[in-house]
A and B are shown apart, each in its own frame.
Chain A
Amino acid sequence: DVKVTQSSRYLVKRTGEKVFLECVQDMDHENMFWYRQDPGLGLRLIYFSYDVKMKEKGDIPEGYSVSREKKERFSLILESASTNQTSMYLCASTIQGLDYGYTFGSGTRLTVV
């Protein structure tokens, strides 16, 4: 069974902390994505990557960075966490060709206090 695994289901961090969200997929997918999901706003794309060491900004990259050193792992970094980054974060992966659909992780609910 193919899987996308996010390292934490729940996180509570303090304002100003550097936060790492990890995502690992076991499907040998080229494409990986980070979204945040907020009530009334839907899923918004933060960053994505089409290959190792490649990254592209999504619609809301401010305050975030990413790292993809290995094909199976895509990390989201909050450089200095702020309360407006409290959200559900979803990682997804897909093979080349977006028509095949995304496989999502179970999400990380991050609270910044």
Chain B
Amino acid sequence: TQLLEQSPQFLSIQEGENLTVYCNSSSVFSSLQWYRQEPGEGPVLLVTVVTGGEVKKLKRLTFQFGDARKDSSLHITAAQPGDTGLYLCVGFFGNEKLTFGTGTRLTIIP
């Protein structure tokens, strides 16, 4: 069974600060996705990364896929209260099953 570890598990920072959260696995991903889940809602897809070393930007969010395709990071610049939520990484290992990480719960304090 493939495992995805996300760190930190909880993060609480002031508005305007920068932050990075991480997703790691001992196995190689075919592709990886990041989702954000707001309280009382289902997760919403933010990005899919496929190529080792790939970097994708979504406004203030920067997603990086490790060269070896075993890890990924999400960097948020100048965090805003609207960034608050549970961030989930989801690994696709090529066997038609997705594995979800346990998530990073992010709170941005105004």
B109 contacts partner chain A, Cβ-Cβ < 8 Å: no
Interface set, chain A 1-41, CB cutoff 8 A to B = 4, 9, 35, 40-41
Chain B's interface size range is 20 to 34
A90 contacts partner chain B, Cβ-Cβ < 8 Å: yes
Q: Are B42 and A104 in contact (CB under 8 A)?
A: yes
The residue of chain A having its C-beta at the shortest distance from the C-beta of B4 within the complex is A42
Count, chain A residues at interface, CB 8 A:
21
Interface set, chain A 69-106, CB cutoff 8 A to B = 90, 92, 98-106
Q: What chain A residues lie within 8 Å of B97 (beta carbons)?
A: 45
B102 contacts partner chain A, Cβ-Cβ < 8 Å: yes
Q: What chain A residues lie within 8 Å of B103 (beta carbons)?
A: 42
Q: What chain B residues lie within 8 Å of A9 (beta carbons)?
A: 40
A43 contacts partner chain B, Cβ-Cβ < 8 Å: yes
Q: Are B42 and A42 in contact (CB under 8 A)?
A: no
Q: What chain A residues lie within 8 Å of B44 (beta carbons)?
A: 104
List residues of B whose CB falls within 8 A of some A CB.
Answer: 30-31, 33, 35, 40-45, 48, 50, 88, 92, 96-98, 100-103
List residues of A whose CB falls within 8 A of some B CB.
Answer: 4, 9, 35, 40-45, 90, 92, 98-107
